[in-house]
């Protein structure tokens, strides 16, 4: 049990003193980039799905 307590204390010390956290403005800008990438990826997948659906409807209409 002492090892677990030591582990928790060392993890806390590392998070508080050794980790460099981003500034608020850096966090906001990277969040905006991630959201923009998410929107673009979603639109690309939606477009590919629509193209595949149209292609499959065309193929099935031939049969």
Residues 26-35: tens digit of each pLDDT: 999 999 999 9
Local confidence band at 48 (pLDDT 50, 70, 90 cut-offs): very high
- 9 falls within a domain: no
Tell me which residue range forms the domain holding 35: 22-63
**Is 17 a domain residue?**
no
The span from the CA of 55 to the CA of 37, in Å, is 27
Q: Is the pLDDT of residue 7 over 90?
A: yes
For position 55, what pLDDT does the model report?
97
Token pair recorded at residue 42: 């979603």
Confidence band for 63, pLDDT divided at 50, 70 and 90: confident
Phi, psi of 21 (to 5 degrees): -85, 145
Q: Examine residue 59 and state whether it is found in any structural domain, yes or no.
A: yes
Residue 48 domain flag: yes
User: Does residue 12 surpass a pLDDT of 90?
Assistant: yes
Task: Answer whether residue 15 is part of any domain.
Answer: no
The domain tally of the chain equals 1
Whether the predicted pLDDT of 1 surpasses 90: no
Reported as type and span, the H/E element at residue 35 is helix 24-62
d(CA 26, CA 34): 12
Q: Is 31 helix (H, G, I), strand (E, B) or coil?
A: helix
């Amino acid at each position: 049990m002492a090892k677990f307590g030591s582990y928790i204390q060392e993890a806390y010390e590392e998070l508080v003193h050794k980790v460099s956290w981003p500034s608020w403005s850096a966090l906001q800008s990277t969040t905006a980039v991630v959201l923009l990438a998410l929107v673009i990826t979603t639109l690309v997948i939606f477009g590919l799905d629509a193209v595949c659906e149209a292609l499959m409807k065309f193929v099935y209409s031939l049969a």
